[in-house]
């Protein structure tokens, strides 16, 4: 199982770009990288997923270097409503649900 390591917390100010990096040194060839966002008293929400290089959607960008041993979630121009816990997950295609562990996540606090 590919274990992930993320910072426990990060602070930012409104309007700034935020980059959250996740380390996954033991990532396997068939593993995908997925990021979720969780607000207090809510279930996690899927943000973005990638396998290699760069993926961008209307919410965020995901940068994955060639060795895939880490990934960076980039949130452009954050607002107060982006304050949440962000989880990085690594798991294989067709893998068991047991493989996808959420870990402790990164608490992002956006300050005015």
Partner 1 sequence: EADIYQTPRYLVIGTGKKITLECSQTMGHDKMYWYQQDPGMELHLIHYSYGVNSTEKGDLSSESTVSRIRTEHFPLTLESARPSHTSQYLCASSHGQGAQYGYTFGSGTRLTVV
- Chain residues binding partner 1 by CB under 8 A are 31-32, 34, 36, 41-46, 49, 89-105
Between 49 and 72, whose beta carbon lies closer to partner 1?
49
Quote the least distance from Cβ 97 to partner 1, whole Å. 4
CB-CB neighbours of 15 under 10 Å:
11
Question: Tokens 């996954």 belong to which residue?
Answer: 24
Quote the least distance from Cβ 69 to partner 1, whole Å. 17
The answer to whether the beta carbons of residues 10 and 108 sit under 8 Å apart is yes
Between 93 and 112, whose beta carbon lies closer to partner 1?
93
CB-CB neighbours of 104 under 10 Å:
13
Quote the least distance from Cβ 103 to partner 1, whole Å. 6
Distance of CA 93 to the CA centre of its chain: 18
């Amino acid at each position: 199982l590919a274990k992930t390591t993320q910072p426990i917390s990060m602070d930012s100010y409104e309007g700034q770009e935020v980059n959250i990096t996740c380390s996954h040194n033991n990532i396997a060839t068939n593993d995908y990288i997925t990021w979720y966002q969780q607000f207090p008293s809510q279930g996690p929400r899927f943000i973005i997923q990638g396998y290699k290089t760069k993926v961008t959607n209307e919410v965020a960008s995901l940068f994955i270097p060639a060795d895939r041993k880490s990934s960076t979630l980039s949130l452009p121009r954050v607002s107060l409503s982006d304050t949440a816990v962000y989880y990085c997950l690594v798991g294989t295609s067709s893998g068991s649900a047991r493989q996808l562990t959420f870990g402790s996540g990164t608490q992002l606090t956006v300050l005015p």
